[in-house]
């Protein structure tokens, strides 16, 4: 019952371990049901299963990008309005538009092109400045209060999802590395299969050996198919 576990794909290794455990716990082989090696194999497989099925990132990347785009649009719309309105010197309150546009200039007209962190820092300062009484009045004069509230809401939504992503990534980094977890599973699985092989001529172990040997053969075939570019189940 020889097999090079290192040559198995991530999926095939998991499948072999799972099938080995299932066959050993089928109720037909009480001799191994509580064997320390089998219990160790179960624990190693569970750890491996947790790690290898995890994505290497939080999965929130698209949500973060969408939230960032929404706050960028809100920012750009206000900026474009102020830039156009301030040039209409014949209309009322154009001075308010000029003053507010200068506030935008102060924190960067292209802040929506900055990195997430840099944009967040600059946008926070911009919002704080626009919330000052004199600027709040100017926003009201230009009927921009709702647009400003929308910008704040979109910015806050981004901060929430960005924080969730950071937390999720931190949790993933705390998991054992996939490499070390795989090595542990390979070692325990190899020891268990060697045990079964060593005991194959003992009556109570013979049938288990043959059952597991078929499972190992299937794993070898899956490895060969994978190497040829096929996608076995």
18, with CB counted inside 10 A (0-12, 13-18, 19+), is: middle
Q: How far apart are CA 110 and CA 134, in angstroms?
A: 24
Q: Which of the four pLDDT bands, split at 50, 70 and 90, describes residue 167?
A: confident
d(CA 161, CA 146): 23
pLDDT digits (tens, 9 = 90+) for 104-146: 999 999 999 998 989 999 999 999 999 999 999 999 999 999 9
Planar angle of CA 221, 223, 226, nearest 5 degrees: 110
**Listed residue (115, 120, 117) closest to 75, CA to CA:** 120
Q: Is the pLDDT of residue 233 over 60?
A: no
Query: Kind and range of the H or E element at 204?
Result: helix 203-227
pLDDT digits (tens, 9 = 90+) for 11-22: 889 899 999 999
């Amino acid at each position: 019952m020889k097999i090079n576990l290192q040559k198995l794909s991530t999926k095939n290794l998991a499948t072999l371990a799972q099938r080995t455990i299932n066959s050993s716990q089928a109720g037909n082989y009480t001799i191994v049901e509580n064997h320390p090696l089998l219990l160790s194999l179960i624990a190693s497989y569970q750890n491996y299963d947790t790690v290898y099925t995890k994505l290497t990132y939080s999965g929130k990347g698209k949500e973060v990008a969408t939230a960032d785009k929404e706050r960028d649009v809100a920012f750009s719309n206000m900026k474009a309005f102020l830039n156009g309105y301030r040039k209409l010197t014949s209309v009322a309150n154009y001075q308010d538009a000029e003053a507010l546009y200068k506030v935008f200039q102060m924190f960067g007209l292209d802040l929506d092109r900055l990195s997430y962190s840099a944009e967040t820092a600059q946008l926070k300062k911009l919002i704080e400045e626009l919330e000052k009484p004199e600027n709040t009045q100017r926003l009201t004069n230009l009927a921009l209060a709702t647009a400003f509230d929308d910008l704040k809401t979109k910015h806050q939504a981004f901060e929430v999802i960005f924080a969730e992503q950071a937390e999720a990534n931190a949790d993933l980094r705390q998991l054992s590395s996939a490499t070390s977890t795989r090595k542990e599973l390979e070692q325990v699985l190899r020891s268990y299969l060697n045990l079964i092989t060593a005991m194959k001529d003992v009556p109570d172990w013979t049938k288990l050996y043959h059952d597991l040997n078929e499972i190992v053969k299937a794993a070898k075939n899956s490895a060969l198919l994978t190497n040829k570019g096929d996608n076995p189940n």
